[in-house]
Amino acid sequence: MQNQPGHNPAPQVALFDLDGTLTWKDTLLPFLRGYLARYPARVLRLWRMPLALAGYLFGGRDRGVLKSRFIRAVMGGESRARIDAWTAAYVNSLHARSAFRPHALAVLSEHRAAGHSLVLLSASPDLYVPEIGRLLGFDRTVCTTVRWRADLLDGHLGSANRHGEEKVRCLIELRRTYPDTLIVAYGNSLSDVAHLRQADRAVLVNGGAAARRMAGQFGIAAENWT
């Protein structure tokens, strides 16, 4: 494997994307589907989603707006206690169902053994991503935040959607947090190439053809993780 951790004496940050990098697939839609399965009466609120999808397709393709609309449709107005209970069950189910790539967990373990700082960077929401970070032993989690009204979920985004160029901004902020530290970044999608190219070392994990082509243009290693 290229970019093996542990061979450079300088301090390092290992920056991991979540969906498709650490996990086999997306985590947000299963999180929302599982909540609907637990509270099926809320399916009646999904009549808004065709309008939300149309707004996405014909209104600028803003992923953050679409994400917020999905979250509000499924969970808007629910109590923090109820959502936290589902989050705990969902994150435990990820571990039980082997939702994480074994190779990714092995690389994460190598970085941990080398004493590197572990940072999870995800566009998925803070409804559950910090719990995944705790489960996997990350030192820091950076993800999209959602708003609350006291203890009831509002569901509008409380931060920028941590996707594409926003991940570049997050990486720049990490350089301020960890000065004089090498950043080794792992991501899987075409949109991840933007921040991977800003890292000191980077690996594109299981990227599609377009992502691999772009990664190759910037000298980013591409690997297949199982």
Q: Which residue has the tokens 């160029």?
A: 165
Q: Kindly report the pTM of this predicted structure.
A: 0.91
C-alpha to C-alpha distance for 76 and 42, rounded to whole angstroms: 10
Q: Which of the listed CATH numbers 3.50.50.100, 3.20.20.70, 3.40.50.300, 3.40.50.1000 matches domain 12-223?
A: 3.40.50.1000
Q: Are 182 and 8 in contact (CB under 8 A)?
A: yes
User: To the nearest 10°, the Cα dihedral for 52, 54, 60, 61?
Assistant: 70
| Cβ 208 vs Cβ 38: under 8 Å | no
Sequence ranges of the domains in the chain: 12-223
Q: Quick: pLDDT tens for 136-161.
A: 999 999 999 999 999 999 999 999 99
**What does the pLDDT look like over 83-130, one tens digit per residue?**
999 999 999 999 888 999 999 999 999 999 999 999 999 999 999 999
- Phi then psi dihedrals of residue 96, to 5 deg: -65, -35
Task: Kindly report the length of the chain.
Answer: 226
